[in-house]
Amino acid sequence: MWSWWQSGSVHRAPWPNASQLRDAAADGNPLAYAMGAEILSAARRAKTESKRSLKWPVDVIDVTDTTPRTEAFQSVLEDVREAANATSVSVAVGAEASVAVTLADDPDAV
**Torsional sign, CA 26, 31, 37, 39:** negative
CA–CA separation, 94 vs 13, rounded Å? 40
**Torsional sign, CA 67, 46, 79, 39:** positive
CA–CA separation, 67 vs 26, rounded Å? 23
Task: From 50, 63, 36, 68, select the one nearest 104 (Cα to Cα).
Answer: 50
Span 37-67, pLDDT tens digits: 999 999 999 999 999 999 999 999 999 999 9
pTM of the predicted model as reported, rounded to 2 decimal places = 0.76
